[in-house]
Amino acid sequence: MNLSGKRIVVGITGGIAAYKTIEFIRLLRKAEAEVRVVLTPAAEEFVTPLTLQAISGHAVSQSLLDPQAELAMGHIELAKWAQAIVIAPASADFIARFSVGMANDLLSTLCLATSSPIFLAPAMNQQMFAQQITQQNLTALQERGVVLIGPNSGFQACGDVGAGRMSEPEEILTALSDFFYQDQDLQGLNVAITAGPTREPIDPVRYISNYSSGKMGFALAEAFAKRGANVTLISGPVNLISPKNVNRINVISAQEMWHIALESAVKNHIFIGCAAVADYRVAKVGEQKIKKSEAEMQLKLIKNPDIIADVGHLEEKRPFTVGFAAETQHVADYAKDKLQRKNLDMICANDVSNGQVFNAEENALQLFWKGGSKILALKSKKELAADLVDEIIEQYRKTSSFLTAL
């Protein structure tokens, strides 16, 4: 990976994950980037300026009120010098201060004074990350163009397990490289993607749904957008942040998703049905909460519209149509049947037996199309999404519609 000559400021905030940043800086130097390091006061409790100076090859900046640096307005010069600022780890405290525009240390001041892109690699206890205020702060920063890298899920230094682990140094380096050298080969391509579950109401307080997290659909939307495609993401109710440069439309029920999806399909070159749409809905939704009275309660269910089949059978302005099949048995057989019956161009099948895939960070897929198939091995959903985009585009390019799409 080559970042030769790229000028990167690495900001380190207070957190045990700061030890990983030493390896990240080493990787930047190996990629031939120019690196300057900025420490917050809390970060100095976890990593030493001397270590970082040895790794980066330059003196470490620590104080906003350094008299020597301020002779030349050092913080402003550093903000102008940087082609990118990467903050790893980004603590909950720093994220909160940055989201409201505070400038009470050198690093937060640099972030306000720069016009260059800013990347955050959050790292904190899983409960801190899950807090509504933290999620609101992250969303606000993303809306202002800040790029989030991670966090990952797993074991944490405090003993908890969950989301909040800082991304690995290699992952942060890849994200930075993607920014500088992202392939925009899909500019002009319009893609619609459905993602997440749907909720079918029983009464005002209850509903029928499924375990879909929406992560695969969101990862696909991000992968297409990174390559320059115009992406419309039609999402059921999920707790996920919208990918950058993606137009998100939120829906609740299958009928809502069906209406938006059919409206969007004819405006797009590619339509991908990644959502786990409820097959049935309650025939008569209670206007008030249904009270518990008998030992049993019967609900009459009626079939929901089949979104991907209706898109696949469009007679006019039909897009290249990709479906997903979540199966617990006979995965390949059922997927091939759906490919033909729903008139799809490609289907992506996954095995969800024993609760696999839903809410997981990794996935594997079996792809089928007319006259071919391929297995995409188990990997993170973001990595898998990038591979899947390649496969979809390869098959799409074989269709006549590609000639007028780009």
Answer yes or no: is 279 a known binding residue.
Answer: yes
User: Is 158 marked active-site?
Assistant: yes
Answer yes or no: is 324 a known binding residue.
Answer: yes
Are the beta carbons of 194 and 274 closer than 8 angstroms?
yes
Catalytic residue (choose from 73, 158, 378, 406): 158
Mention every residue, 6+ apart, whose C-beta is less than 8 A from residue 130.
Answer: 162, 163
CA angle (227 as vertex; 222, 229 as ends), nearest 5? 80
Answer yes or no: is 345 a known binding residue.
Answer: no
Mention every residue, 6+ apart, whose C-beta is less than 8 A from residue 74.
Answer: 61, 66, 68
Number of residues written out for the chain? 406
At how many degrees (to 10) do helices 132-143 and 92-99 cross? 50
Count CA within 13 A, CB hemisphere, residue 189. Answer: 25
Instruction: Report how far residue 189's alpha carbon sits from residue 68's, in angstroms, rounded to the nearest whole number.
Output: 52
Answer yes or no: is 308 a known binding residue.
Answer: yes
CA angle (258 as vertex; 256, 259 as ends), nearest 5? 65
- Residue found under tokens 């009470």: 104
Q: What six digits make up the tokens of 335?
A: 């997927």
Please give the annotated binding residues for CTP, written as ranges: 273-275, 279, 289, 305-308, 324, 338, 342
Please give the annotated binding residues, written as ranges: 273-275, 279, 289, 305-308, 324, 338, 342
**Could you list the active site residues?**
158
